[in-house]
Amino acid sequence: MPLISAGTMVLDGQIRRPGWLDTSGGRILGCGGGPPPRAPDRDFPDSVVVPGFVDMHVHGGGGASYPVAQEIGDAAAFHLRHGTTTTLASLVTAAPAELLAGVRALAGAARRGTVAGIHLEGPWLSAARCGAHDRSALRDPDPAEIDAVLDAGGGAIRMVTLAPERPGGDAAIRRFLDAGVVVAIGHSDATYEQTTHAIGLGATVGTHLFNAMPPLHHREPGPALALLGDPGVTVELIADGVHLHPAVVDAVLRAAGPQRVAVVTDAIAAAGCDDGTFRLGAVPVEVVSGVARVRGTDTIAGSTATMDRLFRAVARRAGLAEAVQVTAATPARALGLQRVGVLRTGYDADLVVLQRDWHVAAVMVRGDWRVPERG
Domain formed by 53-265+304-335, architecture: Alpha-Beta Barrel (3.20)
Give pLDDT tens digits for 77-110.
999 999 999 999 999 999 999 999 999 999 999 9
Give pLDDT tens digits for 96-146.
999 999 999 999 999 999 999 999 999 999 999 999 999 999 999 999 999
Q: Which residues contact 87 (CB under 8 A, 6 or more apart)?
A: 55, 58, 76, 79, 80, 115, 116
CB of 28 closer than 8 Å to CB of 343: yes
Examine the pLDDT at 205 and tell me if it is beyond 70: yes
Report the percentage of the chain scoring pLDDT > 90: 95
CATH number of 3-50+341-371: 2.30.40.10
Burial of residue 248 (number of CB atoms within 10 Å: 0-12, 13-18, 19+): middle
Report the percentage of the chain scoring pLDDT > 70: 99
Q: What is the DSSP letter of 329?
A: I
Give pLDDT tens digits for 25-78.
999 999 999 999 999 999 999 999 999 999 999 999 999 999 888 899 999 999
Residue 356: per-residue pLDDT:
87
Residue 239: per-residue pLDDT:
97
Mean pLDDT of the chain: 96
Examine the pLDDT at 362 and tell me if it is beyond 60: yes
pTM here is 0.96
Give pLDDT tens digits for 150-159.
999 999 999 9
Examine the pLDDT at 219 and tell me if it is beyond 90: yes
| Cα 137 to Cα 122: distance, rounded to the nearest angstrom | 9
The reply to whether 266 belongs to the active site is yes
User: Beta strands 351-354 and 27-33: pairing type?
Assistant: unpaired
Give the residue numbers of the binding site for substrate. 132, 211-212, 219, 243, 300-302
Q: From the candidates 22, 266, 308, 350, which is the catalytic residue?
A: 266
Give pLDDT tens digits for 297-339.
999 999 999 999 999 999 999 999 999 999 999 999 999 999 9
Q: Where in the chain is the domain with CATH 3.20.20.140?
A: 53-265+304-335
Examine the pLDDT at 199 and tell me if it is beyond 90: yes
Residue 375: per-residue pLDDT:
52
Which 3-state string (H, E, C) describes 35-81? Answer: CCCCCCCEEEEEEEEEECEEEEEECEECCEECCCHHHHHHHHHHHHH
> What's the residue count for the chain?
375
Residue 373: per-residue pLDDT:
77
Q: Where in the chain is the domain with CATH 2.30.40.10?
A: 3-50+341-371
